[in-house]
Structure formats: structure tokens, C-alpha cells
């Protein structure tokens, strides 16, 4: 059987298809999630089972223990290791992302098993070896690798190539509750406090990001980027040079070790376009580069390029926006006027 690990309230749609494509002819695809010993765990499991049933997954194992009621990496990992030992699946999948990767790494370490993270392609071989492609450094490189073990673990990136497998008919997903042993000392790494994030535009989800790098020249230089971002309904981002110089806080950093974004519009001001920055912004629909150096990689890879000094170009752009806003008649085609 193949086992899908569910660490959140929803199931990633790609996982059942990936698991199905790696399952042998007579192998089932099942799922596992975690719950405390209380009654409210039941509702969550029923919702998940409905969703999984829709993907043709026939059984949801609910690992239950008082220590599993809230996210606890070591306890969840140890419970997963116990379930793996009992069910002996040939493959175990979780979505890439913090929880999935963390829980699988714990289970892999406990079971002495290999784990391939951030897989974008997974295929089975005749000898039971899997051939996977994983992304390295946030997508800078692709790594082709082989995974060989009695139980193979993988985290699956959202961008995975979804394999062409016959659609599984939707059906009932049976809930199997099973108490697991969790060593009591694993309570040591439970989340003891959650603080909800402030609502509002965040770098990760903003439709527009106006980002600045070394070329902005200093912390004060970001004022004009702030103004443009506000005008466009977006937020300000930055490169690692801006962070390292203390011009911007790290939460503004776009890139491999910052935030990965997929904005409608990304404006890169005085940013050269190093690979580690590029992988953070490359999923944006439109990229506009403003740079004094026409040869800068960002100027080559962007959708639009403006050659020039940020502090000349941006004030002129703001002035032009204001000018058009003040004389709408002049800026709009005549037929739209009444």
C-alpha cells in the first residue's frame, strides 16, 4: 500500500494521484492523520475522510493519543513511525512545506529510512526503486535521484508533475481509529502558544510587490518604493543585500532564504537578479526591472526592462500616475466618455 500523511485540515489534490501512480496493481492507497483522544477529533476526521473518499482513497487511519491533539513534531513523527511499522507501506507521502517535511523527517530518522524532499516528479521502477526529481535551492537546480528502501518517504511539491493515472471512482473512506504509543517525554517539543498573524497584505500574498536592492542606495531610498507600492495596492520587498545592510527587515526579503512570491506584478529596483533572488520572484506573472546596468541578469529575464537610476525613474513614474489620475479625460479613450 501507499500512505498519504495529512498534517493539515485539507488534503493536497496532487498527493492521491502521485500515490496511485506508484502503487502496484493490487496495492491500496490509504491515508493517516493525527488526533488527540477527545471527541472533536472525530469531526475533523469525518471531513477529511469525505475529501479523501472523493479522491478514491479507501481508508483513513487516525493515530490517536493525548499528545497528538496539537501540532508536536516529535510526537507526530514518532506516531507516524509506529503507523509505518504496523502498516508496512511501500511509500509515504506528505505535501512539501514545513509540517509535512518535518513530520516525515522525524519518521524517517526513527525508522532509519531515506526521505526525498521537494519532489516535482516521482516514478516507480521495476525493481522497487523510485526515480524522483527534486528541486534544490528553491528551484535553482533539479536533482534526479534514486530512492531505494523497503519504505520510501517523499515530500511532494505543489508544482509536481501530476501523473496520468486512471481517475479513481469516488467512494466511502473508512475511518480506522487506532491508539498509538507516544513516549511521554516527547511532550517537550509541543507548541505551547500560537499567536495569530496580523491580517492585511503580506509579502507572500500581495498582488503587487515593489522590491529594492543595493541599487536603492540606503534605507531612506525606500521611501519612493513605499509610495509606489501603496499607489499600486502592494507591499515593499527587498534583496538580501538590503536586509544584510539593515535597510529593511528580513521579513521583506524575497528569495531562497526569504519569501517566495507569485505576484501579478513584481517590480525589481536596483536588483541584479542573482539566482537565489530570482527563484523567489520567478513565479510572478509580470516582472518589471529597473536598473542602471542593461546587462544585469534581472534586465534579461524580466518581462519589461527600464534602463536607468531608480531615483530618477520611480519619481517620474509616480508623477505620471498622478498626472493621469488628475486628468482622466486625457488618458482614457474617447469612446468611453459619456
Q: Are 100 and 155 in contact (CB under 8 A)?
A: yes
Query: Would you say 213 is a known binding-site residue?
Result: no
Q: Are 254 and 242 in contact (CB under 8 A)?
A: no
Identify what 60 binds: ligand FAD, other proteins, none; CB under 5 to 8 Å per kind. Answer: none
The distance of closest approach from Cβ of residue 319 to other proteins in the complex, given in angstroms and rounded to an integer, is 7
Nearest residue (CB) to ligand FAD, 79 versus 298? 298
The distance of closest approach from Cβ of residue 109 to ligand FAD in the complex, given in angstroms and rounded to an integer, is 24
Query: CB neighbours of 121 closer than 8 A, spacing ≥ 6?
Result: 132, 133, 160, 161
Query: CB neighbours of 158 closer than 8 A, spacing ≥ 6?
Result: 12, 14, 95, 96
The distance of closest approach from Cβ of residue 188 to other proteins in the complex, given in angstroms and rounded to an integer, is 5
Measured torsion, CA atoms of residues 26, 145, 103, 253, in degrees rounded to the nearest 10: -140
Instruction: State the Cα–Cα distance between residues 15 and 1, nearest whole angstrom.
Output: 14
The distance of closest approach from Cβ of residue 139 to ligand FAD in the complex, given in angstroms and rounded to an integer, is 12
The distance of closest approach from Cβ of residue 310 to ligand FAD in the complex, given in angstroms and rounded to an integer, is 4
Q: Are 216 and 247 in contact (CB under 8 A)?
A: yes
Query: Would you say 255 is a known binding-site residue?
Result: yes
Nearest residue (CB) to ligand FAD, 91 versus 258? 258
Query: Would you say 240 is a known binding-site residue?
Result: yes
Query: Would you say 257 is a known binding-site residue?
Result: yes
Coil/strand/helix, residue 4: strand
Nearest residue (CB) to ligand FAD, 151 versus 241? 241
Nearest residue (CB) to ligand FAD, 65 versus 248? 248
Residue count at the site for ligand FAD (CB under 6 A)? 26
107 half-sphere exposure, CB direction, 13 A CA radius: 30
Which contiguous run of DSSP H or E holds residue 83?
A: helix 73-87
Query: Would you say 272 is a known binding-site residue?
Result: yes
The distance of closest approach from Cβ of residue 307 to ligand FAD in the complex, given in angstroms and rounded to an integer, is 9
Count CB-CB contacts under 10 A for residue 28: 16
Nearest residue (CB) to ligand FAD, 59 versus 134? 134
**Residue 252 CA, distance from chain mean position:** 17
Rg (CA), the chain: 25
Identify what 147 binds: ligand FAD, other proteins, none; CB under 5 to 8 Å per kind. Answer: other proteins
Site residues for ligand FAD, window 182-241 (CB under 6 A)?
Answer: 213-215, 239-241
Site residues for ligand FAD, window 240-299 (CB under 6 A)?
Answer: 240-241, 253-258, 270-272, 274, 276-277, 280, 290-293, 296
Coil/strand/helix, residue 167: coil
Residues that bind ligand FAD (CB under 6 A): 213-215, 239-241, 253-258, 270-272, 274, 276-277, 280, 290-293, 296, 309-310
Annotated binding-site ranges for FAD: 214, 239-240, 253-257, 270-277, 291
Amino acid at each position: 500500500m501507499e500512505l498519504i500523511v495529512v498534517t493539515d485540515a485539507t488534503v493536497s489534490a496532487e498527493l492521491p494521484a502521485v500515490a496511485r501512480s506508484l502503487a502496484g496493481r493490487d496495492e491500496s492507497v490509504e491515508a493517516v492523520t493525527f488526533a488527540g483522544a477527545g471527541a472533536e477529533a472525530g469531526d475533523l476526521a469525518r471531513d477529511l475522510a469525505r475529501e479523501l473518499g472523493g479522491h478514491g482513497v479507501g481508508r483513513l487511519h487516525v493515530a490517536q493519543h493525548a499528545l497528538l491533539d496539537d501540532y508536536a513534531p516529535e510526537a507526530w513523527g514518532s506516531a507516524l513511525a509506529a503507523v509505518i511499522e504496523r502498516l508496512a507501506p511501500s511509500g509515504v507521502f506528505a505535501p512539501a512545506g514545513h509540517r509535512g517535511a518535518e513530520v516525515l523527517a522525524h519518521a524517517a530518522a526513527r525508522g532509519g529510512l531515506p526521505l526525498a524532499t521537494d519532489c516535482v516528479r516521482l516514478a516507480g521502477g521495476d525493481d522497487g526503486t523510485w526515480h524522483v526529481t527534486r528541486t534544490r535551492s528553491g528551484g535553482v537546480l533539479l536533482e534526479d535521484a534514486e530512492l531505494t528502501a523497503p519504505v520510501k518517504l517523499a515530500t511532494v511539491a505543489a508544482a509536481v508533475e501530476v501523473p496520468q493515472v486512471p481517475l479513481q471512482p469516488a467512494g466511502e473512506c473508512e475511518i480506522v481509529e487506532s491508539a498509538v504509543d507516544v513516549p511521554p517525554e516527547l511532550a517537550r517539543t509541543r507548541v505551547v502558544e500560537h499567536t495569530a498573524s496580523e491580517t492585511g497584505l503580506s509579502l507572500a500574498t500581495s498582488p503587487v510587490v515593489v522590491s529594492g536592492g543595493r541599487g536603492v542606495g540606503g534605507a531612506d531610498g525606500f521611501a519612493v518604493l513605499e509610495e509606489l507600492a501603496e499607489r499600486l495596492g502592494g507591499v515593499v520587498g527587498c534583496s538580501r543585500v538590503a536586509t544584510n545592510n539593515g535597510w529593511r527587515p528580513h521579513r521583506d526579503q524575497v528569495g531562497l532564504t526569504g519569501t517566495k512570491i507569485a505576484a501579478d506584478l513584481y517590480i525589481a529596483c536596483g536588483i541584479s537578479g542573482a539566482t537565489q533572488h530570482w527563484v523567489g520572484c520567478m513565479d510572478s506573472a509580470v516582472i518589471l526591472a529597473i536598473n542602471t546596468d542593461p546587462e544585469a541578469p534581472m534586465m534579461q529575464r524580466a518581462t519589461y526592462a527600464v534602463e536607468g537610476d531608480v531615483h530618477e525613474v520611480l519619481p517620474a513614474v509616480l508623477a505620471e500616475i498622478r498626472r493621469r489620475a488628475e486628468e482622466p479625460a486625457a488618458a482614457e479613450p474617447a469612446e468611453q466618455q459619456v
